[in-house]
Amino acid sequence: MNNDGIFDIESRLLLEALQQVYGYDFRDYAESSLRRRLLNWLSGSGFANLSEAQGRLLRDRNLLDQFVCGITVNVSEMFRDPLFFRAVREQVVPHLKTYSFVKIWHAGCASGEEVYSMAILLREEGLQGRYRIYATDVNEEVLSKAREGIYPLKEMQRFIRNYQKSGGQHDFADYYTARYDHAMLMPELKKEIVFAAHNLAVDADFGEMNMVVCRNVMIYFKAALKERVLELFDRALLPGGFLCLGQKESLEKRGVAGNYDELARGTRIYVKRYLQS
Amino acid sequence: MSNATCNPDKRVFRVVVLGVSTGGVQALKRLLGALPADFPLPILIVQHISPEAGNGLARLLDELCAIRVKEADEEETMEPGCVYLAPPNYHLLLEKDAVLSLSSEPPVNFARPSADVLFESAAAAFGRGVIGIVLTGAGYDGGRGLQRIQEEGGLTVIQDPVEAEAPSMPEHALSLVAADHVISLELLPALLQLLAGRHSEQGEPS
């Protein structure tokens, strides 16, 4: 058997063991991109192969956290896909305004860029004090980054461009304080955000949401796990609530598709029907 | 150019993967425009493109070419006679079960989509069944992935840098890989037909 074949066996064994020891379940992640991240992690880990790493990973929680951080995708941008945020601003917010209080679940929030983007948008649209965002991720390490809300200053140029393309009218610089080479987001933005660890592969849903945002998270899952996660979201969402997916994620072939209408074609913003099929 | 020299061990190819950057639109028009609608292999393409570009390039090429061209969708199973372009701002990868997958991981070689990412996934999934092609482009994307394709027994093709609109991608690939074919764009469609033709002659996939 060649090295590739052995690597595949080692990774299956490791994922199985991690599931049994920690409850982290990566067995239903799409293989080719997971394989790529496993190889990247391994090359920087000092271990010769996954079998060698396994013994330590099963006993050393710190190493495990670092591993989980390495093999999950944790990067985003503020106002990533500006047209999505524009559609939220123009087509979703008018509905949200009709509620006295709005609850939003942002699943797979990674280091928080898109969560803060949403908070900025909602404040600008006058919803300050009338919403809460539950921002969850499987990964404790990135959650603590998200809680900090501190990003490299060099990213700001791109974030500002995205913000403007998304229909932002204010001076984006008002939302952060530059310090050395970092930008610290305005602490007030955090008041309405609750960050919490949550594993889409095994944990239960959050209830009574007006909106669920989960963009470019499920693209890393195999079909069965996608179905599980969409059922979670479906249970969490109130009728009339909004399900926001990534640009290349569609409900088309999914079990819950019959419960939703796309807000406008190609937006990947789905509205939950009042009458379920 | 005879069949024997192109494909001496009569292996069965399953997929063509191609990376191209600067000069790519013209190159793809010429290459894909010369392939028949019933070309017997799927073709996966990474063309470097602005993150905010729509699917206009896929639509344009589909209109101009006999072979079907579309933007890749998540979880799509690749089919013969269809060209799949990586969507702007996503990496395109190939799974063992011939399903396409997407990723928004960080850019590789400053590129998302990146040809290296596609090539490495194809090499891991289909090994000897892969034909990897690097065409015109600035930068260095594609070279390392082509090397992986070669290591896994796949076939490597590089556009002759002399005629490439931007030679650095083919040159870089040539510095890493002893390519099976260094070829002009003009002859590439005929080569692909010969290589892929083996597939239909033998009749059964591996």
What ipTM score was computed for the predicted complex, to two decimals? 0.88
Tell me which residue of A129, A128, A121 sits closest to A166, measured CA to CA.
Answer: A121
Boundaries of domain holding B179: 14-196
The pLDDT of residue B9: 60
Instruction: Please report whether residue B2 resides in a domain.
Output: no
User: Taking the alpha carbons of B84, B86, B87, B92 in that order, is the dihedral positive or negative?
Assistant: positive
Share of chain A above pLDDT 90, in %: 84
Q: Are B80 and B40 in contact (CB under 8 A)?
A: yes
User: Which CATH number belongs to the domain containing residue B32 in this structure?
Assistant: 3.40.50.180
The answer to whether residue B96 is domain-embedded is yes
Tell me what pLDDT residue A111 has. Answer: 93
Strand partners, A237: A209
A259 DSSP assignment:
G
Please state which CATH number belongs to domain A82-272: 3.40.50.150
Q: Express each pLDDT in A196-219 by its tens digit.
A: 998 888 888 788 999 999 999 999
pLDDT at residue B91, rounded to an integer: 97
Q: Locate the chain A residue with the closest alpha carbon to B116.
A: A36
Looking at chain B, the whole-number percentage of residues with pLDDT higher than 70 is: 91
Q: Looking at residues A14-42, what average pLDDT do you find?
A: 93
For residue range B134-192, what is the model confidence (pLDDT) as tens digits? Answer: 999 999 999 999 999 999 999 999 999 999 999 999 999 999 999 999 999 999 999 99
Residue B6 lies in a domain: no
Q: Say how many C-beta atoms besides its own lie within 10 A of residue A166's C-beta.
A: 22
Residue B11 pLDDT grade (very low, low, confident, very high; cuts 50, 70, 90): confident
- Chain A contact probe: residue of B71, B104, B119 with most A CBs at under 10 A: B104
Of B128, B133, B162, B163, residue with least CA distance to B145 = B133
pLDDT surpassing 80 at residue A276: no
| pLDDT of B203 over the 80 cut | no
Q: Are A185 and A130 in contact (CB under 8 A)?
A: no
Sorted by where each begins, the domain ranges of chain A are 3-71, 82-272
CA distance A205 to B89: 30
Q: Which pLDDT belongs to residue B84?
A: 98
* pLDDT surpasses 50 at A142: yes
pLDDT class of A30 with cuts at 50, 70, 90: very high
Q: Tell me if B3 is assigned to some domain.
A: no
CB of A155 closer than 8 Å to CB of A176:
no
With an 8 Å Cβ cutoff, is B106 touching chain A?
yes
Catalytic residues of B: 21, 48, 141
Q: Which residues of B25-39 are buried (b: 16+ CB within 10 A; e: fewer)?
A: eebbeebbebbeeeb
Instruction: Indicate the number of domains in chain B.
Output: 1
* Nearest CB to B74 within list A4, A73, A248: A248
| C-alpha dihedral, A100 to A105 to A111 to A117, nearest 10° | -40
Closest Cα in chain B, distance from residue A81 (Å): 8
Q: Is residue B126 part of a domain?
A: yes
> d(Cα A20, Cα A161) in Å, to the nearest integer?
45
Instruction: Test B105 with A223 for CB contact under 8 angstroms.
Output: no
Q: Are B109 and B137 in contact (CB under 8 A)?
A: no
pLDDT, tens only, B48-77: 998 888 889 999 999 999 999 999 999 999
Contact residues on chain B for A40, CB-CB shorter than 8 A: none
Does the structure show a pLDDT above 90 at A235? yes
Q: What is the pLDDT of residues B85-117, one digit of tens each?
A: 999 999 999 999 999 999 999 999 999 999 999
- Please, are residues B123 and B155 in contact by the beta-carbon 8 Å criterion? no
Q: What is the mean pLDDT of chain A?
A: 93
Confidence of residue B3 (pLDDT cuts 50, 70, 90): very low
What residues of B are in contact with residue A219 (Cβ under 8 Å)? Answer: 74, 90, 101-104
Digit-coded pLDDT (tens) for A54-88? 999 999 999 998 999 899 888 789 999 999 999 99
Answer for the pair B155, B125: CB distance below 8 angstroms, yes or no.
no
- B121 and A247 within 8 Å at the Cβ level: the answer is no
CA A73 – CA A193 distance, rounded (Å): 21
**pLDDT tens across A2-23, in order?**
777 899 999 999 999 999 999 8
More confident residue, A24 or A101: A101
> Would you say residue B84 lies in a domain?
yes
- The predicted structure's pLDDT at residue A102: 97
User: Residue A262 contacts by C-beta under 8 Å, 6 or more apart in sequence?
Assistant: A251, A268, A269, A270, A271
